[in-house]
Amino acid sequence: MSDHIEELSIKKKNRGGRPSNSIWKDINKGEAVSSGKFAAFCKYCKNTWSRNKISKLEEYLSNYCPD
Ligand SMILES: [Zn+2]
């Protein structure tokens, strides 16, 4: 539960799609590496990224993650 993640999703107002923070239910968020990029770890397939964009992680979850 992090308040500032909530704020980010409110600003984005991604209508019709999943909220941008929904991937964090499936992916563990690591450190912010640079603007818009994070270290991350998939809870399902154990894939890890040393840095990746949220949009790429969303794409990964919907298209490539085996689960
Ligand atoms: Zn995965």
pLDDT average per 10 residues of sequence, the chain (67 residues): 58 52 89 94 96 94 90
pTM: 0.64
pLDDT value, residue 3: 67
Å from CA of 3 to ligand 1 middle: 25
pLDDT value, residue 28: 96
Å from CA of 5 to ligand 1 middle: 21
pLDDT value, residue 14: 47
Provide the domain count of the chain. 1
Is residue 14 included in any domain, yes or no?
no
Å from CA of 54 to ligand 1 middle: 14
Confirm if 57 and 29 have CB atoms less than 8 A apart: no
pLDDT value, residue 22: 83
Is residue 13 included in any domain, yes or no?
no
| Domain extent for 56 | 22-67
